[in-house]
Amino acid sequence: MEIMFDWCTTIYKNRQNLEEWESLLFASLEIGFRQFDPQKPVKSTHDPSKDYPEMADAVFGSRNSEVIADLLYGWITCHSIWDLSGILENRLLYLHNRVPFSPRLRRLVIRCVELLGCGGFVESGVGKFVELLDHLHVTVEDMDDRAEWLMLLLETLQTPEGPQHLSHWYWELVVELAVLQSQRHVPTYSPLILESLVKAQEWSKLECWMGTVWTLWPPEADGITEEDLGDSIHILFEKRPCAFQKLEQWMERWSNRFKEKKDIPGSFQRICGKAYKAVQRDTP
């Protein structure tokens, strides 16, 4: 595979001496990488000394989804992905506006996003990154590494623009990944997200965030005071009474995932139970 990628770069470097070099380059990419399953990337120790943004322009400019997918597969296989972040960032962020995504291209773009993380797109702003995520409509089944995706989405949420821009689909995905998560190596809890959601009256997102808080950062474990959550939970149940049942379902699933069933945090029972009863009592 390394030989095929070297052949492609050789074609590009010698393009001035080749007729129809683009067609030759695209054919070489197809021969080298089309037959491989993007869900089963081949590992490589190849460490190329240089990449060519102009070659990327030629391939991405073709607007041929399968040829672009060939190049992405070659890069993922033969390179350190962080060596490519400068080449990939803008090309991936705007690609969905120019090229219809084939299933294979979508899968490889998802893989690139997973490998680069939110930090790989930070220079272009969270808004454009979230726009790409919305187009990809990532599911748990699309992920090679769920833990990496949980980190990626939590880091996106903890940017100033994240809570506003990230669609409800991904808030649901965050809490789903939190429920499935077995380790707690995640970014530190930020109260700013809670405050921004209450201020914006984003009740469906707040519901998901509360589910995430109790699966990743319950007060018993991370020192979040119950007062930090109580008022927000009360407001949530007032505006969205069904949230109590949804939170209970998430916590039951989280508890039952482990071989030795984990107890649902006592703070959940106290805070949510108290708030729900108060809302029920005050409802005509």
Question: Tens digits of per-residue pLDDT, 143-162?
Answer: 988 999 999 999 999 888 88
> What is the reported pTM?
0.86
- Residue ranges covered by each domain of the chain: 1-144, 185-284
pLDDT at 253 over 80: yes
56-97 per-position pLDDT tens digit: 888 999 989 999 999 888 888 776 676 777 788 888 999 999
Alpha-carbon distances, residue 173 vs 54, 206, 246 (angstroms): 36, 13, 14
Q: By mean pLDDT, which of 67-81, 98-112, 191-205 is the weakest?
A: 67-81
